[in-house]
Amino acid sequence: MSRKAIVAAVVVVVVIAAVWIYRSAQMRAPVPTPAAAKLEIFSWWTTGGEEAGLLKMFDIFREQNPGVEIINATVAGGAGFEAKPALKARMLGGDPPDSFQVHMGRELTDTWVITGFMEALDDLFKQEGWEGVFPPGVLALLKHEGSYYSVPVNIHRSNVLWYNTQVFSANMWTPPATFDEFFALAEKMKAKGIAPLALGDVGIWASVHLFEVVMAGALGPEKYNGLWNGSTSWSGPEVKRALDIMARMLMYVNPDHSALSWDQANALVIQGKAGMTIMGDWVDADNLAKGFKESGWAPPPGTRGTFVALSDTFGLPKKSPHPTQAMAWLKLAGSKAGQEAFNPVKGSICARSDCDPGLFGPYLKTAMQDWARDTIVPSLAHGAAASETWVALINDVITAFVTDRDVAKAQAALAKACVDAKVCK
């Protein structure tokens, strides 16, 4: 190598090293420094309405807290499937964000509260009078040993059957209210060359989501609730019936389901290539983002009057680098102004019961009515009903079940998962 080349190489190296040192010095130091005015929010809201809603909340936050730099730490992926491992690695590494998105229920309590990673928020709840504005069912799921640990910003419904009203009215179809009607309709769709049920389970959670909706329909709210505390047996005839129905449903899904994400599955419904999809009500925001106005919705078979709920909440990690800003964020997340700005765009309803229905679109208006009068049960796939360990075990059972459809094997494995999760004896 020539002398010139060596000199050039050395120059390049020195320049890069200088830039590196400069940048690194600027970077957030790993050693806690006096809290600069910053706020880092960790979430999996990266696209469409969810991102727009988050940015709206950021705007309000900036107005209320001028001069605070907001760091939007997102990890993309439906249902937080990619975000949750990333968050865990950061928390274990002692590098927590100021506040992070976490599902209400067991995901919050079993993963983070019992292990002592979170600060209690009782003073904030008292100061803001939140015990009066959040429904009691929601409050109960945020509590552990008498203290509150996170602030719910919205409510999503998991059990919704979505369809294309143009396709349905052209064929004079009506959304099925029972499983028998569902299968009769699926046969008609198949005969028309339409894939009856669109599923996109590249991340396995979408098939677990389908499973929870089928279980809620097949067992009814009371028995369904019993699954999560061991009072309904996983080996009994009810779970067997749910698995039988699910196995039959899987015969009507698009064959490339394991290559698609849930929104790609919804695109099949929009294009009229699939008849229905069973997915949470974030589909509404996806439809709006895609400019699709002919969307129809109904409770999936057997779940009229049942609202399978999940909620995105924000909590305060113990080692939050900027606790003052984090508290201001939590206050905003629970406030009427914050929720009314966020939810109509995100496509969810308020966790508070005093939001103005006039701000919401047609689907969300119906969801608000159902939320007020339906029986509320917790979602499995989205962290409310079971610990993440248990959900991961159920994920494995359902992965096998989706392809082999072996009811007996799946039921035995589900019963074992309940024991391994230390809920069943």
Partner 1 sequence: MRLNSDRALALALLVPSIAATAVFVYGFIGWTVWVSLSRWHGLLPDFTWVGLANYAELFRNPRFHIDVRNTVVFTAFLLGACMSLGLGLALLLDRGVRGESLFRSLFFFPMAISFIVTGVAWRWLLAPGDVATGRITGVNVILARLGLPHLKWYTDHTVLFIQPDGPLGQLLGRLGLEALTGPLFGVPVAMLSIVIAATWQMSGFVMALYLAGLRGFPEELREAARIDGAGEWQIYRYVVLPFLRPITLSALIILGHVSLKIFDLVAAMSKRGPGFATDVPAYFMFETTFHGDRFAQGAAIAIVMLVTVSVLIVPYLAYTMRKETGG
Partner 2 sequence: MRGLRRIGRILVYTGLAGAGAFYLLPVYVLVITGLKSYAEAGLGQMWQLPLSPSLESFRQAYERLAPYFANSLTLTVPAALLSSLVGSVNGYVLSKWRFRGSDLLFTLILFGMFIPYQSILIPLVYTLQRVNMVAAGLGIPGWLAWAIPGYGTITGLAFVHVVYGIPITTLIFRNYYATVPDDLMDAAKIDGAGLLGIYRKVLFPISMPAFAVVLIWQFTSIWNEFLFAVVLTQNPAVRPVTVALYNLAGSYIVEWNVQMAGALLAAAPTLLVYIFLGRYFLRGLLAGALKG
115 binds, among partner 2, partner 1, none (CB under 5 to 8 A by kind): partner 1
Nearer to partner 1, 17 or 259 (CB): 259
User: If DSSP codes are grouped into helix, strand and coil, which group holds residue 257?
Assistant: helix
400 binds, among partner 1, partner 2, none (CB under 5 to 8 A by kind): partner 1
Q: Are 219 and 232 in contact (CB under 8 A)?
A: yes
Asked if 172 is part of the footprint of partner 2 (rule: CB under 8 A), the reply reads no
Strands 274-278 and 312-315: unpaired
Residue 74 carries which DSSP code?
E
- Per-position b or e across 39-72, b if 16+ CB within 10 A of its CB: bbbbbbbeebbbbbbbebbbeebeeebeebebee
Asked if 23 is part of the footprint of partner 2 (rule: CB under 8 A), the reply reads yes
Q: Which of 232, 258, 264, 324 binds partner 2 (CB under 8 A)?
A: 264
Adjacent-strand bridge partners of 278:
161
Nearer to partner 2, 30 or 237 (CB): 30
Nearer to partner 2, 33 or 403 (CB): 33
Binding mask of the shown chain, residues 97 to 136, with x at each position contacting partner 2 by CB under 8 A: x---------------------------------------
Nearer to partner 2, 30 or 129 (CB): 30
User: If DSSP codes are grouped into helix, strand and coil, which group holds residue 42?
Assistant: strand
255 binds, among partner 2, partner 1, none (CB under 5 to 8 A by kind): partner 1
Angle 170-175-177 (CA atoms, 0-180°, nearest 5)?
155
Asked if 55 is part of the footprint of partner 2 (rule: CB under 8 A), the reply reads no
CB of 389 to partner 2, least distance (A): 16
Nearer to partner 1, 88 or 304 (CB): 88
Q: Which of 3, 4, 24, 408 binds partner 2 (CB under 8 A)?
A: 24
| Cα 63 to Cα 330: distance, rounded to the nearest angstrom | 15
Asked if 193 is part of the footprint of partner 2 (rule: CB under 8 A), the reply reads no
* Structure tokens given for 102: 């976490």
Binding mask of the shown chain, residues 300 to 339, with x at each position contacting partner 2 by CB under 8 A: ----------------------------------------
Q: Is the Cα torsion angle 276, 282, 288, 291 positive or negative in sign? A: negative
For residue 377, give the amino acid letter.
V
404 binds, among partner 2, partner 1, none (CB under 5 to 8 A by kind): partner 1
262 binds, among partner 2, partner 1, none (CB under 5 to 8 A by kind): partner 2
Strands 156-157 and 306-310: antiparallel
Asked if 90 is part of the footprint of partner 2 (rule: CB under 8 A), the reply reads yes
| Cα 83 to Cα 46: distance, rounded to the nearest angstrom | 11
Q: Are 211 and 269 in contact (CB under 8 A)?
A: no
Q: Which of 8, 19, 36, 184 binds partner 2 (CB under 8 A)?
A: 19
Asked if 1 is part of the footprint of partner 2 (rule: CB under 8 A), the reply reads yes
User: If DSSP codes are grouped into helix, strand and coil, which group holds residue 60?
Assistant: helix
Q: Which of 262, 307, 329, 363 binds partner 2 (CB under 8 A)?
A: 262
Nearer to partner 2, 38 or 331 (CB): 38
- Name the residues that contact partner 1, by CB under 8 A: 81, 84-85, 88-89, 91-92, 110-112, 114-117, 193-195, 202-204, 254-259, 268, 273-274, 388-389, 392-393, 395-396, 399-400, 402-404
Beta strands in 49-146 (DSSP E): 69-74, 99-103, 143-144
User: If DSSP codes are grouped into helix, strand and coil, which group holds residue 70?
Assistant: strand
| Cα 146 to Cα 144: distance, rounded to the nearest angstrom | 5
Asked if 72 is part of the footprint of partner 2 (rule: CB under 8 A), the reply reads yes
Nearer to partner 1, 106 or 157 (CB): 106
* Structure tokens given for 300: 């999936």
* CA-to-CA separations, 171 to 175, 181, 192, 268, 336, in angstroms, rounded: 12, 15, 10, 17, 43
Task: Give the interface with partner 2 as residue ranges (CB under 8 A).
Answer: 1, 13, 16-17, 19-21, 23-25, 27-33, 46-48, 71-78, 82, 85-87, 89-90, 92-95, 97, 261-264, 286, 289
